[in-house]
């Protein structure tokens, strides 16, 4: 008989349906979302570092330091009050040191993330190049859709790390480049990234790519490392620098309960032959030195005033060597009692013990700021947050805290005129810089602001909060964009399980109906044949 047998369905072709424009937008949105996610993570850490809720915060330690100075005003000659000033000044310094250290460690952590990611990126690039090779071979005789799907996932993984551009050739292979055109994959060849701890470079060429990576995890990490952390670290250093200077400037004008037999500056010059008010001197506070003068007073072993001498300073011409020479030749009431030397770039002034045993000296009326700039008769040492601390000489002998001032050569134990000025510094506006950092351009100082020290810190903390909120908003926007683009892509390319199940049920019902029709027709045919 002429029976017909079903031959089933033959699969002739499988095609991957995509839209190149949508795919590029998806890559870009993936990179942007990854960048904002990493920036949000590290900004949360930054906020925790600068939190004011802790009792050890800089804001709280400032308050305790001012309170200790006010207590000293009430009892300027009492050792316990002097000890408290040193203790709270040390705690304030430690708060600066702690935040500076935390920022340094955070920067190192970001750098470690960059280093690890470079290895991951290079691995992905190698895999994409290898899949390209396989696609090119299979494209000739077969269908490489599975490999294309695998490569798409690898490209997505790569876009999580950095912003990229892709281009597909007719043979099914692709090229991948950075947004600035540096090739990462060209068909079967991959080009690695290198990292030297600072710069990301391209394929062993030493060509820097750091400033060309503007999205993905790498872009977020680089923004944190090269813009956000340096900005707030510089602002922190500016606050420490201003605090140290303003306190030292006042302290150097005063006198303690005892005079000096020898004092060495805490700041050193790189070149003692250069003008002290010039950058070539290398002094930390060279720019604060002005034309002026200061007085040095000589006291006999009983504390009686022998006399004083005024030393003129010209910021543009006087060198540290010149100053030492003047001090060595200085006579007071006909007596040459001083020796002065340069020790590792720092000025030392001492009583000549061979001729003036038991004599002491003190300072006053410094209109040039030279004493504060050299670190002579100062309270704090260093000029940055990392190394800020109380002058070792004061820690060793609390009597050197200059609570009073010299009046007609006399030093009175109950004098608090200088400690009053120091305590009032809490309410004084001082000049402090603010900084901004841009990748590829480096640091730039904004306008100098006149503000109290504590308010500067409050503004800094507020700026961190504003930056963090801005990043959170950008992340939320990036998430919305990513979700929208992904939905558009899925409408074009993705397989819907619900849709496929609906079609399966529809086809199953059609098959059952057709089978029932054939069965019914077969029965009718059998009945007709039997009737014949």
Q: Minimal CA–CA distance to 113: which of 181, 39, 163, 183?
A: 39
Residues 219 and 268 in one domain: no
Domain enclosing residue 515, as ranges: 499-532
Q: Is residue 310 part of a domain?
A: yes
Same domain, 159 and 211: yes
Is residue 352 located within the same domain as residue 303? yes
Is 278 found in the same domain as 370?
A: yes
**Domain-ending residue, one of 360, 376, 392:** 376
Looking at the structure, tell me whether residues 132 and 204 fall in a common domain: yes
DSSP 150-197: HHHHHHHHHHHHS-EEEEE-TTS-EEEEETT--EEEETTEE--EEE-S
177 within domain boundaries = yes
* Together in a domain, 216 and 288: no
Instruction: Provide the 10 A C-beta neighbour count for residue 95.
Output: 22
Phi/psi at 362 (5° precision): -150, 175
**Closest by CA position to 137, among listed 190, 188, 189:** 188
Q: Please state, in angstroms and rounded to a whole number, the distance separating the CA atoms of residues 509 and 489.
A: 31
Task: Give yes or no: residues 192 and 325 share one domain.
Answer: no
270 and 357 part of one domain: yes
Note whether 273 and 398 are within 8 A (CB).
no
Q: Is 375 left (phi over 0), alpha (psi -120 to 50) or beta?
A: left
Q: Which of 376, 411, 446 is the last residue of a domain?
A: 376
Has residue 400 been placed in a domain? no
Per-residue confidence (pLDDT) for residue 497, from 0 to 100: 58
Same domain, 214 and 266: no
Instruction: Note whether residue 107 is domain-resident.
Output: no
Quick one: 26 and 141 in the same domain? yes
In a domain, 138, yes or no: yes
Interatomic CA distance for residues 501 and 499, integer angstroms = 5
DSSP 494: P
Query: Looking at the domain assignment, is residue 442 inside a domain?
Result: no
pLDDT at 494: 54
User: What is the greatest pairwise CA distance in the chain?
Assistant: 157
Report mean pLDDT in 10-residue bins for the chain, 532 residues.
Answer: 48 51 80 95 95 84 97 95 98 97 97 96 97 88 85 94 92 90 93 94 87 94 95 96 98 97 98 97 97 97 95 98 96 89 98 92 98 98 98 98 95 94 97 86 78 96 94 91 80 59 70 75 74 66
Q: Is residue 176 part of a domain?
A: yes
Residue 455, C-beta contacts closer than 8 angstroms, at least 6 positions apart: none
- pLDDT, residue 355, reads 87
pLDDT for 19 equals 61
What is the distance between the alpha carbons of residues 474 and 467, in angstroms, rounded to a whole number? 11
Cα radius of gyration rounded to whole Å, the chain: 38
Domain end residue (candidates: 224, 248, 282): 224
Q: How many domains does the chain have?
A: 3
- The CATH number of the domain holding residue 354 is 2.60.40
Does residue 230 contact residue 311 with C-beta atoms inside 8 Å? no
Burial profile 263-278: b = 16 or more Cβ within 10 angstroms, e = fewer: bbbbbbbeebebbbbb
Which DSSP string corresponds to 25-93?
HHHHHHHHHHHHHHHHHHHHHHHHHT-SSSTTSHHHHHHHHHHHHHHHHHSTT-HHHHHHHHHHHHHHH
Q: Is 129 domain-assigned?
A: yes
User: 151 and 32, same structural domain?
Assistant: yes
Compute, in degrees rounded to 10, the torsion defined by CA atoms 276, 391, 351, 288. Answer: 20
Class of residue 157 by CB neighbours under 10 A (exposed 0-12, middle 13-18, buried 19+): middle
| Residue 328 backbone dihedrals phi, psi, to 5 degrees | -65, -30
Sign of the dihedral defined by the CA atoms of residues 313, 319, 324, 328, in that order: negative
Q: Are residues 298 and 368 in the same domain?
A: yes
């Amino acid at each position: 008989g002429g029976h017909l047998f079903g031959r089933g369905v033959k699969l002739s072709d499988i095609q991957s349906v995509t839209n190149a424009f949508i795919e590029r937008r998806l890559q870009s949105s993936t990179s942007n979302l990854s960048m904002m996610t990493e920036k949000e993570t590290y900004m949360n850490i930054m906020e925790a570092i600068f939190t004011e809720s802790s009792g050890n915060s800089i804001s709280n330690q400032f308050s305790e330091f001012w309170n200790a100075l006010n207590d000293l005003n009430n009892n300027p000659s009492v050792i316990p009050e002097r000890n408290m000033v040193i203790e709270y000044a040390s705690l304030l310094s430690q708060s600066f040191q702690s935040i500076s250290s935390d920022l340094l460690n955070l920067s190192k952590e970001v750098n470690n993330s960059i280093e690890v990611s470079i290895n991951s990126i290079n691995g992905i690039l190698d895999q994409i190049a290898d899949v390209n090779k396989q696609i090119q071979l299979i494209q000739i005789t077969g269908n490489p859709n599975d490999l294309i799907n695998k490569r798409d996932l690898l490209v997505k993984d790569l876009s999580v790390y950095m912003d990229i551009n892709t281009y597909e050739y007719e043979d099914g292979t692709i090229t991948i480049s950075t947004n600035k055109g540096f090739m990462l994959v060209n068909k079967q060849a991959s080009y690695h990234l290198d990292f030297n701890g600072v710069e990301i470079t391209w394929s062993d060429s030493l060509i820097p790519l750091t400033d060309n990576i503007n999205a993905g995890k790498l872009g977020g990490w680089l923004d944190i490392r090269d813009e956000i952390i340096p900005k707030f670290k510089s602002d922190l250093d500016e606050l420490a620098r201003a605090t140290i200077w303003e306190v030292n400037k006042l302290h150097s004008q005063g006198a303690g309960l005892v005079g000096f037999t020898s004092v060495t500056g805490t700041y050193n010059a790189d070149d003692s032959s250069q003008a002290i008010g010039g950058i070539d001197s290398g002094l930390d506070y060279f720019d604060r030195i002005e034309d002026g003068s200061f007085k040095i007073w000589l006291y006999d072993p009983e504390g009686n005033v022998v006399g004083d001498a005024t030393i003129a300073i010209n910021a543009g011409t006087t060198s540290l060597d010149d100053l030492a020479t003047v001090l060595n030749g200085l006579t007071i009431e006909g007596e040459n009692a001083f020796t002065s030397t340069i020790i590792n770039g720092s000025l030392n002034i001492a009583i000549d013990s061979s001729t003036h045993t038991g004599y002491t000296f003190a300072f006053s009326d410094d209109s040039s700021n030279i004493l504060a700039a050299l670190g002579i008769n100062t309270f704090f040492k260093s000029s940055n947050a990392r190394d800020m601390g109380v002058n070792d000489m004061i820690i060793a002998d609390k009597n050197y805290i200059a609570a009073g001032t010299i009046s007609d050569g006399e030093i009175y134990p109950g004098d608090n005129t200088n400690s009053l000025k120091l305590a009032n510094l809490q309410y004084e506006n001082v000049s402090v810089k603010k900084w901004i950092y841009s990748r590829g351009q480096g640091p730039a100082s904004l306008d100098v602001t006149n503000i109290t020290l504590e308010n500067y810190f409050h503004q800094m903390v507020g700026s961190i909060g504003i930056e963090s909120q801005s990043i959170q908003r950008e992340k939320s926007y990036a998430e919305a964009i990513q979700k929208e683009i992904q939905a558009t892509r899925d409408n074009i390319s993705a397989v819907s399980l619900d849709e496929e199940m609906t079609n399966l049920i529809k086809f199953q019902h059609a098959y059952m109906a057709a089978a029932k029709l054939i069965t019914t027709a077969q029965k009718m045919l059998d009945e007709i044949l039997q009737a014949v």
